[in-house]
Amino acid sequence: MKPTIQEQTRSQQSDKRKQILSIATKIFFREGYGRASMDKVHSELGGSKRTLYNYFPSKEALFEAIVTQVSDQVLTALRPPLGDADLRTTLVKMGNDYLGVLLSPVGISLYRAMVSEAPHFPELAHTFFENGPSRSSHHLAAFFRDQNAQGLIEVSDPQIAAEHFLGAVRGDIHLAAVLTAKRPSKQMVEAAVAQTVRTFLDGVNPKL
């Protein structure tokens, strides 16, 4: 069935938005937020400057979209796997997927950019925190509340538990990658996540 004109238009708009985000991501991470500009994005994008501003009215809006895009990848990684996997298997998969996003080139670049720019752009840092780390911990906390309701775990504060779990998963592996630019092997990541899950589950007393 041939797509309608409206469907074709929506598809074209989606493709253009992705193109803008792809170009802007490279510029923001290469130049830093302070030095990046809408003019630089337009220079690499080409076409009408009005088109760029129709999609993103400001540099702040464009960067927020980049942060949200990476955050959405993290939230996808934290979704419980389908099927009847037990809690331990679920947390191992979550941990590996979550760390995989953080250790990706975009994840590392975004973290470095925010640490560098936060003192100069506090509102931007707040936006990053709310759309990134905060969204992730709240999303995982909702999963822990559901596990609590089913009687599978006993945790008095799901939000704090989520923050502790994600912090333990990041551990020194993420910090080392940020500082040294050396990405750990898959085996190192899997071993670290497995140990984190073992330690975490001992603390929440799983009823398995």
The CA-CA-CA angle for residues 127, 130, 136, to 5°, reads 140
Q: Quick one: which of 11, 62, 201, 127 has its CA closest to 2?
A: 11
Q: Quick one: which of 14, 150, 160 has its CA closest to 90?
A: 150
Q: How far apart are CA 196 and CA 184, in angstroms?
A: 16
Q: Quick one: which of 50, 70, 65, 49 has its CA closest to 17?
A: 65
Whole-model pTM: value is: 0.76
- Take residue 141 and report the two structure tokens written for it: 């906390």
pLDDT of residue 207: 56
Among positive and negative, which fits the CA dihedral 91, 97, 101, 103?
A: positive
pLDDT values of the chain reduced to their tens digit, one per residue, 208 residues = 666 767 667 777 889 999 999 999 999 888 888 889 999 999 999 988 999 999 999 998 998 888 888 878 877 887 876 556 788 999 999 999 999 989 988 888 888 888 887 888 788 788 888 878 888 899 999 999 999 998 888 889 999 999 999 999 999 999 999 999 888 999 999 999 999 999 998 865 655 5
Q: How far apart are CA 47 and CA 15, in angstroms?
A: 15
H/E stretch holding 175: helix 158-180
Domains in the chain (CATH in brackets) are 1-57 (1.10.10), 67-204 (1.10.357.10)
> Can you tell me whether residue 48 is helix, strand or coil?
coil
